[in-house]
Amino acid sequence: MDFHNLQYWQQRALSLKIENRLFINGRYLQAAEGKTFPVHDPAGQRELVQMACGSHVDIDLAVKAARDVFERGDWSQAAPSQRKATLLKLAALMEEHQEQLALLETLDTGKPIRHSLRDDIPGAIRSIRWYAEAIDKVYGEIAPTGHNTLALIHREPIGVVGAIVPWNFPLLLACWKLGPALAAGNSVVLKPSEKSPLTAIYLGDLAQQAGLPDGVLNIIPGYGYDAGKALALHHDVDALTFTGSTLVAKQLMIYAGESNMKRVWLEAGGKSANIIFADCADLDKAAQNAAAGIFYNQGQVCIAGTRLLVEESIQQPFLQALRKHAATFAPGNPLDPQTVMGTLIDDQHCEKVAGYIEQGLSQGASLFLDGRHHPQGQHRSYLGPTILTQVNNTMNVAREEIFGPVLAVTTFNGEQEALKLANDSEYGLGAAVWTSNLSRAHRMARQLKAGTVFINNYNDGDMTVPFGGYKQSGNGRDKSLHALDKFTELKTTWISLE
Ligand code: NAD
Protein backbone atom coordinates (compact mmCIF):
# COMPACT_ATOMS: atom_id res chain seq x y z
CA MET A 1 0.00 0.00 0.00
CA ASP A 2 1.26 3.48 -0.86
CA PHE A 3 1.24 5.59 2.30
CA HIS A 4 2.51 8.78 0.45
CA ASN A 5 4.46 11.25 2.60
CA LEU A 6 3.91 13.88 5.27
CA GLN A 7 3.64 16.79 2.79
CA TYR A 8 0.98 14.95 0.80
CA TRP A 9 -1.23 14.51 3.88
CA GLN A 10 -0.60 18.03 5.16
CA GLN A 11 -1.66 19.45 1.78
CA ARG A 12 -4.77 17.30 1.71
CA ALA A 13 -5.63 18.28 5.27
CA LEU A 14 -5.42 21.97 4.36
CA SER A 15 -7.85 21.64 1.45
CA LEU A 16 -10.26 19.33 3.26
CA LYS A 17 -13.93 20.19 3.22
CA ILE A 18 -15.63 18.52 6.18
CA GLU A 19 -19.35 17.67 6.28
CA ASN A 20 -20.69 19.00 9.57
CA ARG A 21 -24.40 18.25 9.53
CA LEU A 22 -26.61 15.43 10.76
CA PHE A 23 -27.80 12.78 8.28
CA ILE A 24 -31.54 12.02 8.61
CA ASN A 25 -33.86 10.33 6.11
CA GLY A 26 -31.32 10.56 3.29
CA ARG A 27 -30.51 14.26 3.74
CA TYR A 28 -27.91 16.34 5.54
CA LEU A 29 -29.55 18.74 8.02
CA GLN A 30 -28.62 21.24 10.72
CA ALA A 31 -29.56 20.20 14.25
CA ALA A 32 -33.19 21.05 15.04
CA GLU A 33 -32.19 23.18 18.03
CA GLY A 34 -29.37 24.83 16.03
CA LYS A 35 -26.64 23.78 18.45
CA THR A 36 -23.10 22.81 17.43
CA PHE A 37 -20.00 21.44 19.17
CA PRO A 38 -16.33 21.77 18.24
CA VAL A 39 -14.38 18.86 16.76
CA HIS A 40 -10.64 19.04 17.46
CA ASP A 41 -7.51 17.62 15.90
CA PRO A 42 -5.55 16.49 18.99
CA ALA A 43 -2.18 16.52 17.17
CA GLY A 44 -2.53 19.91 15.47
CA GLN A 45 -4.36 21.26 18.55
CA ARG A 46 -6.84 23.11 16.33
CA GLU A 47 -10.56 23.14 15.81
CA LEU A 48 -11.43 21.24 12.63
CA VAL A 49 -15.10 22.11 12.41
CA GLN A 50 -18.22 23.04 14.35
CA MET A 51 -20.40 19.93 14.10
CA ALA A 52 -24.20 19.99 14.31
CA CYS A 53 -25.07 18.72 17.76
CA GLY A 54 -28.00 16.29 17.65
CA SER A 55 -30.46 16.32 20.55
CA HIS A 56 -33.51 14.29 21.51
CA VAL A 57 -35.48 16.23 18.87
CA ASP A 58 -33.21 14.97 16.08
CA ILE A 59 -33.24 11.47 17.54
CA ASP A 60 -37.05 11.50 17.36
CA LEU A 61 -36.91 12.54 13.68
CA ALA A 62 -34.30 9.91 12.88
CA VAL A 63 -36.17 7.10 14.66
CA LYS A 64 -39.38 8.07 12.87
CA ALA A 65 -37.64 7.97 9.48
CA ALA A 66 -36.09 4.62 10.39
CA ARG A 67 -39.46 3.20 11.51
CA ASP A 68 -41.34 4.47 8.44
CA VAL A 69 -38.98 2.88 5.96
CA PHE A 70 -38.87 -0.32 8.01
CA GLU A 71 -42.65 -0.65 7.89
CA ARG A 72 -42.79 0.24 4.17
CA GLY A 73 -40.43 -2.66 3.57
CA ASP A 74 -38.23 -0.99 0.92
CA TRP A 75 -35.22 -2.47 2.68
CA SER A 76 -36.55 -4.77 5.40
CA GLN A 77 -38.54 -6.86 2.93
CA ALA A 78 -36.14 -6.64 -0.01
CA ALA A 79 -34.57 -9.90 -1.18
CA PRO A 80 -31.30 -10.51 0.65
CA SER A 81 -29.55 -10.53 -2.74
CA GLN A 82 -30.80 -6.97 -3.32
CA ARG A 83 -29.51 -5.78 0.06
CA LYS A 84 -26.26 -7.52 -0.73
CA ALA A 85 -25.89 -5.64 -4.03
CA THR A 86 -26.47 -2.25 -2.35
CA LEU A 87 -24.06 -2.95 0.52
CA LEU A 88 -21.40 -4.17 -1.92
CA LYS A 89 -21.78 -0.84 -3.73
CA LEU A 90 -21.34 0.95 -0.40
CA ALA A 91 -18.17 -1.05 0.30
CA ALA A 92 -16.84 -0.19 -3.18
CA LEU A 93 -17.53 3.52 -2.60
CA MET A 94 -15.78 3.39 0.76
CA GLU A 95 -12.81 1.83 -1.00
CA GLU A 96 -12.84 4.57 -3.63
CA HIS A 97 -12.80 7.19 -0.86
CA GLN A 98 -10.52 5.37 1.56
CA GLU A 99 -7.82 8.05 1.60
CA GLN A 100 -10.40 10.68 2.50
CA LEU A 101 -11.83 8.45 5.23
CA ALA A 102 -8.36 7.65 6.59
CA LEU A 103 -7.41 11.33 6.68
CA LEU A 104 -10.62 12.26 8.53
CA GLU A 105 -10.03 9.45 11.03
CA THR A 106 -6.44 10.49 11.72
CA LEU A 107 -7.26 14.19 12.07
CA ASP A 108 -10.18 13.41 14.36
CA THR A 109 -8.42 10.94 16.69
CA GLY A 110 -4.64 11.48 16.40
CA LYS A 111 -4.05 7.89 15.32
CA PRO A 112 -1.23 7.34 12.79
CA ILE A 113 -2.29 7.72 9.16
CA ARG A 114 -0.56 4.43 8.32
CA HIS A 115 -2.88 2.63 10.73
CA SER A 116 -6.01 4.40 9.47
CA LEU A 117 -5.02 3.41 5.92
CA ARG A 118 -3.92 -0.12 6.74
CA ASP A 119 -6.30 -1.17 9.53
CA ASP A 120 -9.26 1.07 10.37
CA ILE A 121 -10.69 1.86 6.96
CA PRO A 122 -10.00 -1.51 5.27
CA GLY A 123 -11.44 -3.21 8.37
CA ALA A 124 -14.60 -1.11 8.14
CA ILE A 125 -14.97 -1.90 4.43
CA ARG A 126 -14.39 -5.60 5.10
CA SER A 127 -17.20 -5.65 7.63
CA ILE A 128 -19.75 -4.14 5.23
CA ARG A 129 -18.60 -6.46 2.43
CA TRP A 130 -18.47 -9.59 4.60
CA TYR A 131 -22.07 -9.28 5.81
CA ALA A 132 -23.27 -8.28 2.33
CA GLU A 133 -21.75 -11.45 0.94
CA ALA A 134 -23.05 -13.59 3.80
CA ILE A 135 -26.67 -12.50 3.96
CA ASP A 136 -28.01 -14.39 0.94
CA LYS A 137 -26.49 -17.61 2.28
CA VAL A 138 -28.26 -17.69 5.63
CA TYR A 139 -31.04 -20.28 5.73
CA GLY A 140 -33.86 -20.95 8.16
CA GLU A 141 -34.65 -24.33 9.72
CA ILE A 142 -37.41 -26.90 9.67
CA ALA A 143 -37.99 -28.44 13.09
CA PRO A 144 -38.06 -32.25 13.48
CA THR A 145 -41.78 -32.54 14.24
CA GLY A 146 -44.40 -35.27 13.69
CA HIS A 147 -45.92 -36.07 10.32
CA ASN A 148 -48.97 -33.85 10.78
CA THR A 149 -47.04 -30.68 11.45
CA LEU A 150 -44.64 -28.39 9.62
CA ALA A 151 -42.66 -26.08 11.90
CA LEU A 152 -40.54 -23.38 10.30
CA ILE A 153 -37.92 -21.43 12.23
CA HIS A 154 -36.55 -18.35 10.61
CA ARG A 155 -34.97 -15.02 11.40
CA GLU A 156 -36.60 -11.63 10.80
CA PRO A 157 -35.00 -8.21 11.09
CA ILE A 158 -35.68 -6.79 14.53
CA GLY A 159 -36.74 -3.29 13.39
CA VAL A 160 -35.05 -0.02 14.38
CA VAL A 161 -31.55 -0.45 15.78
CA GLY A 162 -29.78 2.27 17.78
CA ALA A 163 -25.99 2.02 17.46
CA ILE A 164 -23.80 3.96 19.90
CA VAL A 165 -20.04 3.81 19.35
CA PRO A 166 -16.82 5.15 20.97
CA TRP A 167 -13.89 7.15 19.64
CA ASN A 168 -11.01 4.68 19.58
CA PHE A 169 -11.84 2.98 16.23
CA PRO A 170 -14.74 5.19 15.10
CA LEU A 171 -15.55 3.91 11.60
CA LEU A 172 -14.39 0.34 12.18
CA LEU A 173 -16.59 -0.20 15.23
CA ALA A 174 -19.54 1.56 13.58
CA CYS A 175 -19.22 -0.83 10.63
CA TRP A 176 -19.02 -3.88 12.91
CA LYS A 177 -22.59 -2.86 13.84
CA LEU A 178 -23.79 -1.53 10.48
CA GLY A 179 -22.64 -4.57 8.48
CA PRO A 180 -24.82 -7.19 10.21
CA ALA A 181 -27.65 -4.79 11.19
CA LEU A 182 -28.19 -3.47 7.66
CA ALA A 183 -27.58 -6.79 5.91
CA ALA A 184 -30.28 -8.36 8.09
CA GLY A 185 -32.79 -5.72 6.90
CA ASN A 186 -32.94 -3.34 9.86
CA SER A 187 -33.02 0.45 9.86
CA VAL A 188 -30.27 2.07 11.95
CA VAL A 189 -29.78 5.29 13.89
CA LEU A 190 -26.04 5.63 14.49
CA LYS A 191 -24.69 7.94 17.21
CA PRO A 192 -20.93 8.32 16.86
CA SER A 193 -18.82 9.63 19.73
CA GLU A 194 -18.82 13.40 20.16
CA LYS A 195 -15.01 13.09 20.09
CA SER A 196 -14.83 11.47 16.64
CA PRO A 197 -17.91 11.97 14.44
CA LEU A 198 -16.22 12.81 11.09
CA THR A 199 -16.00 9.46 9.28
CA ALA A 200 -19.48 8.39 10.37
CA ILE A 201 -21.05 11.54 9.00
CA TYR A 202 -19.13 11.15 5.73
CA LEU A 203 -20.62 7.66 5.38
CA GLY A 204 -24.13 9.13 4.96
CA ASP A 205 -23.26 10.51 1.53
CA LEU A 206 -21.71 7.21 0.43
CA ALA A 207 -24.78 5.28 1.61
CA GLN A 208 -26.97 7.63 -0.42
CA GLN A 209 -24.82 7.15 -3.52
CA ALA A 210 -24.94 3.37 -3.03
CA GLY A 211 -28.74 3.47 -3.16
CA LEU A 212 -29.65 2.73 0.46
CA PRO A 213 -33.32 3.82 0.76
CA ASP A 214 -33.89 7.07 2.70
CA GLY A 215 -34.24 6.47 6.43
CA VAL A 216 -32.42 3.11 6.50
CA LEU A 217 -29.27 4.77 7.84
CA ASN A 218 -29.42 7.92 9.99
CA ILE A 219 -26.37 9.45 11.65
CA ILE A 220 -26.69 11.78 14.63
CA PRO A 221 -23.50 13.19 16.19
CA GLY A 222 -24.17 14.55 19.67
CA TYR A 223 -23.44 14.12 23.33
CA GLY A 224 -24.09 10.90 25.18
CA TYR A 225 -26.15 12.51 27.91
CA ASP A 226 -28.52 14.02 25.33
CA ALA A 227 -28.65 12.30 21.92
CA GLY A 228 -27.26 9.00 23.25
CA LYS A 229 -29.63 8.89 26.20
CA ALA A 230 -32.65 9.82 24.02
CA LEU A 231 -31.83 6.95 21.66
CA ALA A 232 -31.41 4.49 24.52
CA LEU A 233 -34.67 5.56 26.16
CA HIS A 234 -36.68 5.68 22.93
CA HIS A 235 -39.83 3.57 22.91
CA ASP A 236 -39.64 2.92 19.18
CA VAL A 237 -36.09 1.56 19.13
CA ASP A 238 -36.10 -2.25 19.15
CA ALA A 239 -32.44 -2.95 19.88
CA LEU A 240 -29.38 -1.05 21.04
CA THR A 241 -25.91 -2.08 20.02
CA PHE A 242 -23.19 -0.34 22.00
CA THR A 243 -19.42 -0.22 22.22
CA GLY A 244 -17.91 1.90 24.97
CA SER A 245 -17.19 1.98 28.68
CA THR A 246 -18.64 -0.42 31.22
CA LEU A 247 -20.05 2.56 33.13
CA VAL A 248 -22.21 3.69 30.22
CA ALA A 249 -23.03 0.07 29.28
CA LYS A 250 -24.65 -0.44 32.69
CA GLN A 251 -26.61 2.78 32.27
CA LEU A 252 -27.98 1.57 28.94
CA MET A 253 -29.39 -1.54 30.63
CA ILE A 254 -31.21 0.74 33.05
CA TYR A 255 -32.58 2.89 30.19
CA ALA A 256 -33.88 -0.25 28.46
CA GLY A 257 -35.62 -1.33 31.67
CA GLU A 258 -37.09 2.15 32.12
CA SER A 259 -38.46 2.24 28.58
CA ASN A 260 -39.52 -0.59 26.28
CA MET A 261 -37.16 -3.43 27.27
CA LYS A 262 -35.31 -3.07 23.98
CA ARG A 263 -32.58 -5.65 23.47
CA VAL A 264 -29.26 -4.24 24.69
CA TRP A 265 -26.00 -5.56 23.28
CA LEU A 266 -22.87 -4.35 24.96
CA GLU A 267 -19.18 -4.37 24.07
CA ALA A 268 -17.56 -2.71 27.05
CA GLY A 269 -14.22 -2.33 28.82
CA GLY A 270 -11.32 -4.71 29.30
CA LYS A 271 -8.22 -5.42 31.37
CA SER A 272 -6.78 -8.31 29.39
CA ALA A 273 -3.91 -10.46 30.65
CA ASN A 274 -1.02 -11.46 28.40
CA ILE A 275 0.65 -14.49 30.04
CA ILE A 276 4.25 -15.42 29.20
CA PHE A 277 5.42 -18.83 30.42
CA ALA A 278 9.11 -19.65 30.74
CA ASP A 279 8.63 -22.42 28.15
CA CYS A 280 7.61 -19.87 25.49
CA ALA A 281 9.43 -20.91 22.29
CA ASP A 282 10.31 -17.41 21.04
CA LEU A 283 10.68 -14.79 23.76
CA ASP A 284 11.61 -12.04 21.32
CA LYS A 285 8.44 -12.61 19.28
CA ALA A 286 6.39 -12.67 22.49
CA ALA A 287 7.99 -9.36 23.57
CA GLN A 288 7.30 -7.78 20.18
CA ASN A 289 3.64 -8.87 20.39
CA ALA A 290 3.37 -7.73 23.99
CA ALA A 291 4.61 -4.25 22.99
CA ALA A 292 2.21 -4.02 20.04
CA GLY A 293 -0.55 -5.50 22.22
CA ILE A 294 -0.42 -2.51 24.58
CA PHE A 295 1.12 0.38 22.60
CA TYR A 296 -0.78 0.06 19.30
CA ASN A 297 -3.36 2.88 18.93
CA GLN A 298 -1.65 4.56 21.92
CA GLY A 299 -3.06 1.83 24.16
CA GLN A 300 -6.63 2.96 23.46
CA VAL A 301 -7.81 -0.54 22.59
CA CYS A 302 -10.51 -2.37 24.56
CA ILE A 303 -8.67 -5.67 24.21
CA ALA A 304 -5.17 -4.21 24.81
CA GLY A 305 -2.82 -6.57 26.66
CA THR A 306 -2.63 -4.15 29.55
CA ARG A 307 -1.62 -6.71 32.21
CA LEU A 308 1.59 -8.57 31.43
CA LEU A 309 1.95 -11.69 33.56
CA VAL A 310 5.47 -13.03 33.17
CA GLU A 311 6.93 -16.15 34.77
CA GLU A 312 9.45 -15.00 37.36
CA SER A 313 12.45 -16.93 36.00
CA ILE A 314 12.36 -15.07 32.66
CA GLN A 315 11.35 -11.61 33.87
CA GLN A 316 14.72 -9.93 33.30
CA PRO A 317 15.45 -11.13 29.72
CA PHE A 318 11.81 -10.56 28.80
CA LEU A 319 11.79 -6.98 30.07
CA GLN A 320 14.98 -6.21 28.13
CA ALA A 321 13.39 -7.51 24.92
CA LEU A 322 10.23 -5.56 25.71
CA ARG A 323 12.19 -2.32 26.13
CA LYS A 324 13.74 -2.80 22.69
CA HIS A 325 10.34 -3.31 21.03
CA ALA A 326 8.67 -0.51 22.99
CA ALA A 327 11.28 1.85 21.54
CA THR A 328 9.80 1.31 18.06
CA PHE A 329 6.65 3.11 19.31
CA ALA A 330 8.11 6.61 19.37
CA PRO A 331 5.38 9.27 19.39
CA GLY A 332 5.30 11.39 16.24
CA ASN A 333 3.12 13.44 13.90
CA PRO A 334 0.14 11.21 13.02
CA LEU A 335 0.10 12.56 9.45
CA ASP A 336 3.64 11.28 8.84
CA PRO A 337 3.31 7.79 7.28
CA GLN A 338 6.44 6.72 9.18
CA THR A 339 4.74 7.35 12.55
CA VAL A 340 3.51 4.30 14.47
CA MET A 341 2.39 6.12 17.61
CA GLY A 342 0.20 9.21 17.47
CA THR A 343 -1.59 11.24 20.12
CA LEU A 344 -4.16 10.21 22.65
CA ILE A 345 -7.71 11.34 21.92
CA ASP A 346 -7.37 14.63 23.83
CA ASP A 347 -5.42 16.44 26.55
CA GLN A 348 -7.94 15.54 29.23
CA HIS A 349 -7.65 11.81 28.52
CA CYS A 350 -3.86 12.11 28.39
CA GLU A 351 -3.88 13.68 31.86
CA LYS A 352 -6.09 10.87 33.16
CA VAL A 353 -3.68 8.24 31.83
CA ALA A 354 -0.68 10.10 33.29
CA GLY A 355 -2.59 10.17 36.58
CA TYR A 356 -2.67 6.36 36.56
CA ILE A 357 1.13 6.28 36.24
CA GLU A 358 1.35 8.45 39.37
CA GLN A 359 -1.15 6.23 41.18
CA GLY A 360 0.83 3.11 40.29
CA LEU A 361 4.03 4.64 41.64
CA SER A 362 2.36 5.83 44.83
CA GLN A 363 0.94 2.32 45.40
CA GLY A 364 4.39 0.69 45.12
CA ALA A 365 4.99 -0.05 41.42
CA SER A 366 8.36 0.77 39.79
CA LEU A 367 8.87 2.74 36.61
CA PHE A 368 10.75 0.57 34.09
CA LEU A 369 10.00 2.81 31.10
CA ASP A 370 8.66 6.36 31.38
CA GLY A 371 6.69 7.67 28.40
CA ARG A 372 6.09 11.10 29.84
CA HIS A 373 9.27 12.52 28.26
CA HIS A 374 9.37 12.52 24.49
CA PRO A 375 10.32 14.79 21.57
CA GLN A 376 6.74 15.94 21.07
CA GLY A 377 6.70 17.10 24.68
CA GLN A 378 5.23 20.49 23.84
CA HIS A 379 1.89 18.83 23.06
CA ARG A 380 -0.05 17.58 26.03
CA SER A 381 -1.89 14.85 24.09
CA TYR A 382 1.30 12.83 23.50
CA LEU A 383 2.32 10.05 25.85
CA GLY A 384 4.97 7.46 25.00
CA PRO A 385 5.19 3.78 25.98
CA THR A 386 5.27 3.35 29.74
CA ILE A 387 6.04 0.15 31.65
CA LEU A 388 5.34 -0.31 35.36
CA THR A 389 6.89 -3.35 37.09
CA GLN A 390 6.35 -4.86 40.55
CA VAL A 391 2.63 -4.45 40.10
CA ASN A 392 0.33 -6.61 42.19
CA ASN A 393 -3.34 -7.31 41.57
CA THR A 394 -4.58 -5.02 44.34
CA MET A 395 -3.21 -1.87 42.67
CA ASN A 396 -5.50 0.35 40.62
CA VAL A 397 -3.21 -0.01 37.58
CA ALA A 398 -3.91 -3.77 37.65
CA ARG A 399 -7.65 -3.50 38.17
CA GLU A 400 -8.94 -0.44 36.30
CA GLU A 401 -9.05 0.21 32.59
CA ILE A 402 -6.35 2.83 31.88
CA PHE A 403 -6.99 3.05 28.12
CA GLY A 404 -3.53 4.41 27.35
CA PRO A 405 0.02 3.19 26.63
CA VAL A 406 0.73 1.92 30.14
CA LEU A 407 1.73 -1.70 30.74
CA ALA A 408 1.42 -3.23 34.23
CA VAL A 409 3.88 -6.11 34.79
CA THR A 410 3.28 -8.79 37.43
CA THR A 411 5.33 -11.97 37.95
CA PHE A 412 4.02 -15.46 38.71
CA ASN A 413 5.22 -18.99 39.30
CA GLY A 414 3.40 -21.84 37.58
CA GLU A 415 0.13 -22.31 35.78
CA GLN A 416 -2.23 -22.12 38.75
CA GLU A 417 -0.93 -18.74 39.89
CA ALA A 418 -1.06 -17.36 36.34
CA LEU A 419 -4.66 -18.48 35.99
CA LYS A 420 -5.68 -17.06 39.34
CA LEU A 421 -4.15 -13.66 38.56
CA ALA A 422 -5.56 -13.52 35.03
CA ASN A 423 -9.10 -14.37 36.13
CA ASP A 424 -9.00 -12.04 39.12
CA SER A 425 -10.63 -9.17 37.20
CA GLU A 426 -14.13 -7.82 36.75
CA TYR A 427 -13.45 -7.80 33.00
CA GLY A 428 -13.15 -10.74 30.60
CA LEU A 429 -12.55 -9.52 27.06
CA GLY A 430 -9.28 -11.18 25.98
CA ALA A 431 -6.33 -13.18 27.29
CA ALA A 432 -3.17 -14.53 25.70
CA VAL A 433 -0.90 -17.45 26.57
CA TRP A 434 2.65 -17.92 25.31
CA THR A 435 3.92 -21.48 25.75
CA SER A 436 5.36 -24.32 23.68
CA ASN A 437 3.43 -26.88 25.74
CA LEU A 438 0.29 -27.81 23.79
CA SER A 439 -1.52 -29.33 26.75
CA ARG A 440 -0.83 -26.28 28.90
CA ALA A 441 -2.11 -24.02 26.10
CA HIS A 442 -5.39 -25.94 25.95
CA ARG A 443 -5.73 -26.20 29.73
CA MET A 444 -5.30 -22.44 30.05
CA ALA A 445 -7.65 -21.67 27.13
CA ARG A 446 -10.37 -23.75 28.80
CA GLN A 447 -10.06 -22.05 32.15
CA LEU A 448 -9.45 -18.41 31.21
CA LYS A 449 -12.64 -16.39 31.57
CA ALA A 450 -12.36 -14.33 28.40
CA GLY A 451 -14.27 -14.00 25.12
CA THR A 452 -11.10 -14.62 23.10
CA VAL A 453 -7.96 -16.52 24.14
CA PHE A 454 -4.92 -16.01 21.93
CA ILE A 455 -2.25 -18.72 21.92
CA ASN A 456 1.22 -17.60 20.85
CA ASN A 457 -0.09 -14.35 19.32
CA TYR A 458 -1.75 -11.23 20.60
CA ASN A 459 -5.02 -9.97 19.07
CA ASP A 460 -4.89 -11.85 15.78
CA GLY A 461 -8.20 -12.75 14.17
CA ASP A 462 -10.54 -11.76 11.36
CA MET A 463 -14.22 -11.31 10.49
CA THR A 464 -14.91 -15.03 10.75
CA VAL A 465 -14.65 -15.14 14.55
CA PRO A 466 -16.87 -13.53 17.21
CA PHE A 467 -15.54 -10.68 19.33
CA GLY A 468 -16.86 -9.80 22.77
CA GLY A 469 -16.47 -10.32 26.45
CA TYR A 470 -17.26 -12.31 29.57
CA LYS A 471 -18.26 -10.63 32.84
CA GLN A 472 -18.36 -6.80 32.78
CA SER A 473 -16.73 -6.67 29.33
CA GLY A 474 -20.20 -7.05 27.88
CA ASN A 475 -22.67 -9.45 26.31
CA GLY A 476 -23.39 -10.61 22.77
CA ARG A 477 -20.73 -10.70 20.09
CA ASP A 478 -19.65 -8.49 17.20
CA LYS A 479 -18.23 -10.03 13.99
CA SER A 480 -18.89 -13.46 12.42
CA LEU A 481 -22.33 -14.91 11.65
CA HIS A 482 -23.06 -14.85 15.40
CA ALA A 483 -23.44 -11.05 15.22
CA LEU A 484 -26.61 -11.57 13.17
CA ASP A 485 -28.26 -13.01 16.31
CA LYS A 486 -28.30 -9.50 17.81
CA PHE A 487 -30.14 -7.93 14.92
CA THR A 488 -32.83 -10.54 14.26
CA GLU A 489 -35.81 -12.06 16.01
CA LEU A 490 -36.25 -15.81 15.84
CA LYS A 491 -39.74 -16.73 14.63
CA THR A 492 -41.48 -20.09 14.76
CA THR A 493 -44.36 -20.85 12.38
CA TRP A 494 -46.21 -24.01 13.50
CA ILE A 495 -48.44 -25.35 10.76
CA SER A 496 -51.03 -28.11 11.24
CA LEU A 497 -51.21 -30.34 8.19
CA GLU A 498 -54.74 -31.73 8.23
P1 NAD B 1 -18.02 5.98 26.57
O2 NAD B 1 -18.76 4.89 27.22
O3 NAD B 1 -17.71 7.19 27.35
O4 NAD B 1 -18.82 6.49 25.28
C5 NAD B 1 -19.23 5.59 24.27
C6 NAD B 1 -20.43 6.17 23.54
O7 NAD B 1 -21.52 6.25 24.46
C8 NAD B 1 -20.21 7.59 23.01
O9 NAD B 1 -20.84 7.70 21.76
C10 NAD B 1 -20.92 8.45 24.05
O11 NAD B 1 -21.37 9.68 23.54
C12 NAD B 1 -22.08 7.56 24.42
N13 NAD B 1 -22.66 7.85 25.74
C14 NAD B 1 -22.06 8.37 26.84
N15 NAD B 1 -22.95 8.50 27.86
C16 NAD B 1 -24.14 8.04 27.40
C17 NAD B 1 -25.43 7.91 27.96
N18 NAD B 1 -25.70 8.28 29.21
N19 NAD B 1 -26.41 7.39 27.19
C20 NAD B 1 -26.18 6.98 25.93
N21 NAD B 1 -24.97 7.11 25.32
C22 NAD B 1 -23.96 7.62 26.05
O23 NAD B 1 -16.70 5.29 25.97
P24 NAD B 1 -15.51 5.99 25.19
O25 NAD B 1 -14.69 6.78 26.13
O26 NAD B 1 -16.05 6.66 23.97
O27 NAD B 1 -14.69 4.70 24.67
C28 NAD B 1 -13.77 4.02 25.44
C29 NAD B 1 -14.39 2.77 26.02
O30 NAD B 1 -14.87 1.93 24.99
C31 NAD B 1 -13.41 1.92 26.79
O32 NAD B 1 -13.99 1.53 28.00
C33 NAD B 1 -13.18 0.71 25.89
O34 NAD B 1 -12.78 -0.46 26.53
C35 NAD B 1 -14.50 0.57 25.25
N36 NAD B 1 -14.39 -0.22 24.02
C37 NAD B 1 -14.86 -1.50 24.03
C38 NAD B 1 -14.73 -2.29 22.89
C39 NAD B 1 -15.26 -3.70 22.86
O40 NAD B 1 -15.42 -4.24 21.77
N41 NAD B 1 -15.51 -4.34 23.98
C42 NAD B 1 -14.12 -1.75 21.75
C43 NAD B 1 -13.65 -0.44 21.79
C44 NAD B 1 -13.81 0.34 22.94
CATH number at residue 311: 3.40.309.10
Alpha carbon of 376 to ligand 1 centroid (Å): 28
Nearest CA to ligand 1 atom 30: 244
Q: Could you tell me if 157 and 16 lie in one domain?
A: yes
Question: Is residue 118 packed enough to be buried (19+ CB in 10 Å), middle (13-18) or exposed (0-12)?
Answer: middle
Q: Could you tell me if 43 and 125 lie in one domain?
A: yes
**Amino acid 315: pLDDT:** 98
- For residue range 292-324, what is the model confidence (pLDDT) as tens digits? 999 999 999 999 999 999 999 999 999 999 999
Q: Could you tell me if 364 and 217 lie in one domain?
A: no
Specify if 462 maps to a domain. no
pTM: 0.98
**Amino acid 31: pLDDT:** 98
Q: Could you tell me if 37 and 169 lie in one domain?
A: yes
- For residue range 8-40, what is the model confidence (pLDDT) as tens digits? 999 999 999 999 999 999 999 999 999 999 999
- CATH at 68: 3.40.605.10
Active-site residue identified among 19, 105, 194, 267: 267
Report the number of distinct structural domains present in the chain.
2
With beta carbons less than 8 A apart as the criterion, state whether 9 and 103 touch: yes
Alpha carbon of 399 to ligand 1 centroid (Å): 19
Alpha carbon of 245 to ligand 1 centroid (Å): 4
268 lines ligand 1 (CB under 6 A): yes
331 lines ligand 1 (CB under 6 A): no
**Amino acid 429: pLDDT:** 98
The β-bridge partners of 190 are 163, 219
**Amino acid 380: pLDDT:** 74
Alpha carbon of 158 to ligand 1 centroid (Å): 23
Q: Could you tell me if 278 and 200 lie in one domain?
A: no
162 lines ligand 1 (CB under 6 A): no
Nearest CA to ligand 1 atom 22: 224
Q: What's the domain range around 362?
A: 273-450
Mean pLDDT per 10-residue section of the chain, whose length is 498 residues: 92 96 98 98 93 98 99 98 99 98 98 98 98 98 98 98 98 98 99 98 98 98 98 98 98 98 98 98 98 98 98 98 97 96 95 97 98 70 96 98 98 98 98 98 98 98 98 97 98 96
Specify if 312 maps to a domain. yes
**Amino acid 376: pLDDT:** 59
Specify if 348 maps to a domain. yes
Q: Could you tell me if 351 and 435 lie in one domain?
A: yes
- In the residue annotation, 267 being an active-site residue is answered as yes
Q: Which atom of ligand 1 is nearest to the CA of 349?
A: 25
Q: Could you tell me if 28 and 153 lie in one domain?
A: yes
Q: Which phi and psi angles does 126 have, rounded to 5°?
A: -60, -40
403 lines ligand 1 (CB under 6 A): yes
237 lines ligand 1 (CB under 6 A): no
Q: Could you tell me if 244 and 194 lie in one domain?
A: yes
245 lines ligand 1 (CB under 6 A): yes
- For residue range 150-200, what is the model confidence (pLDDT) as tens digits? 999 999 999 999 999 999 999 999 999 999 999 999 999 999 999 999 999
221 lines ligand 1 (CB under 6 A): no
Cα 397 to Cα 116, 403, 425, distances in angstroms: 29, 11, 12
Specify if 409 maps to a domain. yes
Alpha carbon of 106 to ligand 1 centroid (Å): 19
